[in-house]
Amino acid sequence: MKLRGEANIWLYHATCGIRFAEDRDAVRQELREHLEDEIAAVQEETGYSQEAAEKIVVQRMGDADEIGERLVAVHTPWMGFLWRLSKVLLALVCVLVIFSVIRERTNNWAYNFELFSTDSISEVRSVTLDERKGLTGADLFNAGRDADQLAQFTIGQQLRAGTQTVEVLDCTIWRTAEDHTDLFLHIRLEDHRFWEMGQLMGDLFTITDSSGNHCSRCIALEGGFGFYHSEYLIQALDFDPTSDFVQISYGPNGSIFSLRAEIPEHKWETGSIHP
Amino acid sequence: MNEEKKTRRRWFHLTRGQRTARNLVLFFVLTVLVWGIYGCPLPAEAAFRRLEREHLLESGEIVLLLQPEWGKEYATVSVNGQQYSSNGVICASVSPDWIFCSAGTSRTFDQWEIAYFCSRGDGVDVIPLAHYMVTAIDYSTGRMNLTSYVPYLVLDLDVPAETVRVEMDMEYRMDVRDGEMNVMTSGAGEKQKSGAWLFFLDRPNGSAYATGQIGAPWTIRAYAADGSLLQELEGTVREYSVG
């Protein structure tokens, strides 16, 4: 049934105050269906023409302006506009995500990304031991008692440095050349803020043996990283393998962190810690 | 059957408020994702603070922050009437134990080029930001002077009150085809609001970067208005780490 004159005018007046168009259309549609049902019922009861039935139904419905005011009060526009805005924002950010992923696709930033892994040290691929080159960090700690590996023990000490948690996990000592031995430390940095990736600089390490001798140089090799952590392999050149302990200092005069780890007598055990 | 369909539809049906909330949550999550893809950029000072934390440092006192003003491509700084221009950001902070400096290629510091880390010493600290290059603007000719300069941050420098001009000389180590040679370079400096001094010294072509300047001898001279020498200080560039 198509509404004519009176009912159409009533419908317009009752709904024209609703500002959000989609609400207005929905309410208008609902009222239209209601009016059509009512008109059909009146026609069936009385046998009147559609125009006459519309007049009766419109009178029954009441004042259009008064109903319109009530409808406006119920249908505030801001929720509708917010919904529309949310759709636009979502569409824009989806486009931006696609664009960004395509743009960054060629960058290998995800190359050594490990979400929660603790084995990121295997991502260190550039360790050089005398004649052996290109070893991974994991090779050093899983060598199965290689003839050149002199010691391996767990330190497992956690410290706070700024907002980062520094965890010195494992230590191993390798013979790298005749009369040269290097100490390797597996260090993990953690921060709950995924946008802050802990960084270490080899130059800032001072690694000292029990005789008070400093390692000639320290190299920080970057391992894998994830949302909440980054891992480093620290190579300290020329460490005395007979030392009783290793003193690890980071920053000027050890101002950032410092700890001492006893090297166990049986050098394949867990060391004790003296922070 | 229809009832079943209706029930299922109702199950999936969200009110407009729920759809709005869902869209806004997705928008927020995807925005964070995009921010992460672009390297989590932040405004210069916040990004520098983040870099400090990433290097396991507590926040130091910022003594230098050079960055372009909004809408401008270059940061400019005036030292003794000479305008110097850089197309990036330089920031430095100090604590009683350390000096931390960095330079980025954009305002948001999402592309850091270098971080310097030096321990505080007794007396005057001279910190070369040798990886960073600035050029000078010569307004007298209306042309940009293409000479490049190395910025130096100088801390704890006290000069007599009547000083009108401070200059610094430095002996650079320079890589040449057959080895190395030393070159003298000099430039003027000016005290910044933070109390730190900023000097710009000529960068000779081929001069060694960063670590080439460790141990380089410097002389700082303070002059009065009549040109007489008021103070002369000497020292060497202390060891620093570059990451």
For the beta carbon of residue A114, count every other beta carbon within 10 angstroms. Answer: 19
What is the model's pLDDT at position B114? 64
Does residue B135 sit in the same domain as residue B198? yes
d(CA B33, CA A90): 13
Residues in chain B predicted with pLDDT less than 70, given as ranges, are: 1-11, 105-114, 130-133, 136-146, 175-177, 204-212, 243
d(CA B2, CA B225): 97
| Domain residue extents for chain A | 5-74, 120-274
Question: Quick one: fold of A120-274?
Answer: Immunoglobulin-like (2.60.40)
Set of chain B residues whose Cβ sits within 8 Å of the Cβ of A200: 56
Using the Cβ of B29 and the Cβ atoms of chain A, whether some distance falls under 8 Å is answered with no
Tens of pLDDT along chain A (275 residues)? Answer: 677 778 888 999 999 999 888 889 999 999 999 999 999 999 998 888 888 888 899 888 889 999 999 999 988 888 889 999 999 999 999 999 988 887 766 554 444 455 455 556 666 666 777 667 677 777 888 766 677 888 888 888 899 998 899 999 889 888 887 778 899 999 999 988 888 888 898 888 999 999 999 998 898 888 877 778 888 999 999 998 888 899 999 987 788 899 998 888 766 554 444 33
Q: Could you say which of A194, A197, A255 has the minimum Cβ distance to residue B54?
A: A197
Using the Cβ of B97 and the Cβ atoms of chain A, whether some distance falls under 8 Å is answered with yes
What is the model's pLDDT at position A139? 80
d(CA A16, CA B78): 64
**Count of domains observed in chain B:** 2
d(CA A90, CA B23): 6
d(CA A166, CA A164): 6
Does residue B133 sit in the same domain as residue B94? yes
Does residue B129 sit in the same domain as residue B12? no
Say whether B30 and A252 touch across the interface (CB within 8 A).
no
Does residue B169 sit in the same domain as residue B79? yes
Which strand (E) or helix (H) includes residue B59? none
**What residue numbers bound the domain in which B160 lies?**
44-242
With beta carbons less than 8 A apart as the criterion, state whether B80 and B190 touch.
Answer: yes
Does residue B123 sit in the same domain as residue B138? yes
Give the dihedral of Cα atoms B152, B153, B155, B160; nearest 10 deg.
Answer: 60
Does residue B73 sit in the same domain as residue B143? yes
Does residue B29 sit in the same domain as residue B123? no
Helix-helix angle A21-46:A50-61, to 10 degrees = 120
d(CA B230, CA B160): 7
Say whether A256 and B117 touch across the interface (CB within 8 A).
no
Does residue B84 sit in the same domain as residue B113? yes
For the beta carbon of residue B227, count every other beta carbon within 10 angstroms. Answer: 8
Using the Cβ of B58 and the Cβ atoms of chain A, whether some distance falls under 8 Å is answered with yes
Does residue B26 sit in the same domain as residue B136? no
With beta carbons less than 8 A apart as the criterion, state whether B168 and B184 touch.
Answer: no
Residue position matching structure tokens 């140089």: A217
Q: Which of A191, A201, A234, A253 to mutate to test the interface with B (most CBs of B within 10 A)?
A: A201
